Structure 1
Amino acid sequence: MSVVAVYPGTFDPITNGHSDLVERAAKLFDHLIVAVAGYPSASKQPTFTLSERVGLCGEVLSHLPNVEVHPFENLLAEFVNRCEAQVILRGLRAVSDFEHEFQLASMNRQLVPGVETMFLTPAEQYAYISSSLVREVAALGGDVSRFVHPRVQAALAERLRR
């Protein structure tokens, strides 16, 4: 398989759990496209703009030569078709993620029948990390250095000072 779309939500901010999944997937596939969603949901209002999120992801993942980071603001299925990807790779942190991910995978199978969805679980030390929790800890002045790349930590500190 030469192209894989990795879609880990809005990546806001990209955590060590996200980068762990991408690093492990980069060993499994020849070419990965990390797709960063540009549309906020009702439950997730991004801290960073789409451009900033793509830039931070690019910096954090720059050591992986077979990984590209791209924004998208349409249906994931349309993005996957445009990239000619064969797989949508998603992360599963806990059993509670499964029902929603199963629904997404089923819908994507209807929208792009030739594309498979695969799941990776994070390394145990990252299973509890979520972007939302990292944002909350950072907003309350907590140390997030164990959860994010130093560049992301600096960007969060700068953004939250405003």
Structure 2
Amino acid sequence: MERICLFPGTFDPITLGHTDVIDRALDLFDELFVGIGINSTKVPMFPLEQRIQWIKEIYSHTPKVKVVTYDGLTANFCKQINANFILRGIRGIADFEYEKAIADVNRMMDSSIETIFLSCTPKYSTIASSLVRDVLRYKGDASQLLPAEVLHTLKSAI
């Protein structure tokens, strides 16, 4: 059976924390979908098209990584793409509590989907997209937080 995985998130923007988890998960799965969830209650800082472009650029030489968008329940989307795994990054204990609750609900929705938790590499464990957005909003230096492809686009926009 093929190991197909969905890594869901808003990726607003994709950070070095996200890429750390994706990079370390590549050997675990045959196909890894980076799923940008559309949440009608959230207003993202970056347009969907830009977020898609960044991920495609970062993983342009990695054919097993695919970028998709979806709305609705993650478990339902897993069925659409035949994913039998959901990947979640864990920065600390607070993340685990939150993510475990989501994993439990996803398991109730579809018991065939297994959630895999990967802890972040320690140097990335404090990176959260919300903090990165604050750094960017107030013109701080985000070079230790973001992939080069994202930094390049942001510098070009200034």
| TM-score normalised by length of structure 2 | 0.91
* Aligned amino acid, residue 76 of structure 2: E
Residue 16 (structure 1) shift: 0.6
Residue 61 (structure 1) shift: 2.1
**Distance across 2 between alignment mates of 1:48 and 1:73:** 17
Partner of 1:15: 15
- CA displacement, residues 33-58 of structure 1 (integer Å, 9 cap, x when unaligned): 111111154xx531112222112111
Residue 142 (structure 1) shift: 1.0
- Quote the sequence identity (%): 39
Bigger mean CA deviation after superposition, 110-119 or 148-157: 148-157
Seen in structure 2, the aligned counterparts of structure 1 residues 70 and 3 have a Cα distance that, compared at 3 Å, is same
Bigger mean CA deviation after superposition, 72-81 or 146-155: 146-155
Bigger mean CA deviation after superposition, 135-144 or 14-23: 135-144
- CA displacement, residues 65-94 of structure 1 (integer Å, 9 cap, x when unaligned): 211111111211111000111101101111
8 Å CA contact 2:3–2:85 kept in 1: the answer is: no
- CA displacement, residues 90-124 of structure 1 (integer Å, 9 cap, x when unaligned): 01111011221111001100111111111001111
Structure with greater strand percent: 2
Task: Provide the aligned length of Structure 1 versus Structure 2.
Answer: 157
| TM-score normalised by length of structure 1 | 0.89
**Distance across 2 between alignment mates of 1:115 and 1:138:** 36
Q: Which runs of 4+ in 1 moved over 6 A?
A: none
Unmatched 5+ residue regions in structure 2?
none
The counterpart of 2:47, out of the listed 46, 49, 58, is: 49
Residue 157 (structure 1) shift: 4.9
RMSD: 1.6
Residue 131 (structure 1) shift: 0.8
Partner of 2:79: 81
Task: Give secondary structure in 1 for the equivalent of 2:117.
Answer: strand
Q: Equivalences for 1:4-153 in 2 at 5 Å?
A: 4-7=5-8, 9-41=9-41, 44-153=42-151
